[in-house]
Amino acid sequence: MNEKMTFCEECRKDVTYYEESVPIKGTLKGEEYNYTGKKAICTGCGAEVYVAEIEDENLKMLYEAYRQKNGIMPLEKILEIPQKYDIGKRPLSLLLGWGEMTFTRYCDGDMPTKQYSDMLQRIYCEPNFYLSLLEENKGNLKSQTAYEKSKRTTAELLGEQNNAIPKVDEVINYLLFQCEDITPLALQKALYYIQGFYYAFMNSFLFSEDCEAWVHGPVYRDIYNRYSSYRFDPIESNGEFDISVFTDAEKAVIDSVIQNFCCYSGKILERFTHSEMPWIKTRGNLSADDHSNRTISKATIGEYFTAVKQKYNMLTPNDIENYTQIMFSRSIKS
């Protein structure tokens, strides 16, 4: 086994070294970031030594900290897109109307703008959206073969997804797995906030189901019927879950809702929704106790949560916390 060697300034010779994880502060584009990196330590004298590979890795970690804070797609997800849709890097750039080498540069580590990152994130998450781009912009491609290969692969991918568990059921299973005492009422509100905030950050909805403006807030009718027998009791979980069914973006939003909303009871979350525009607007002139099956339109949900994201200057899903704290303060005063 080859030992790791580098030059030590203190020992004045090549030495073996070991690595330690350490907190690091770095500056990128005028902003300071805290992240966990590594340093190399001489096994002989204990001094820190320079290792080019470790410095390169620390730089990558700084860039990842920047990506996370600013909502830029992770590099590993960018690298997965060509393989996922069976298209080359240059053809993908042409398909999107970008410079021929733009996507290649992003694969090499260059930082995409927020606008380009959001486009790539949507392509990664939504094969249907990618397929529509492929059909609309196929004239940009230099090869008919590239178009046909990518279309065939995407169609197969969509076929696999059509046979998969509905996304809303995956979300429910994860909520039940993570939240030990979630009641039917709290589950309904968690789904509503996941749907709303996912749209705010990703400009698309996580699942297709519509909710209705019931007396106790937004309710997904079929899901209500499924768990109605639990009444006010926590819903049982099957005790296992494969987290790989979610993308990083999906998991980030769901985890933030779990952390910042599911810590409250269903009745508290009901009060939240009663003070928000989508439920109020859909209920209209109905009295507080009037039953209703009026659908809260996705457009209304998207409009409201996009405005919330902008008002509270949310850069990442972790920033949802400020909103929930304010909503809770209002709810206990009402």
**Domains of the chain (ranges plus CATH)?**
5-70 (3.10.20), 75-162 (no CATH), 167-333 (no CATH)
Distance, C-alpha 29 to centroid of its chain: 24
Partners of 214 in the β-ladder: 217
Contact 121, 82 (CB under 8 A): no
Contact 184, 235 (CB under 8 A): yes
DSSP, res 139: G
Task: List pLDDT tens digits, range 50-94.
Answer: 999 999 889 888 888 888 788 888 888 899 999 999 999 999 999
**CA–CA gap between residue 334 and residue 328 (Å, rounded):** 10
pLDDT at 334: 63
For the chain, state the CA radius of gyration: 24
How far lies 28's CA from each of 25, 103, 161, 289, in Å? 10, 22, 39, 54
Task: List pLDDT tens digits, range 210-258.
Answer: 999 999 999 999 999 999 999 999 998 877 888 888 888 899 999 999 9
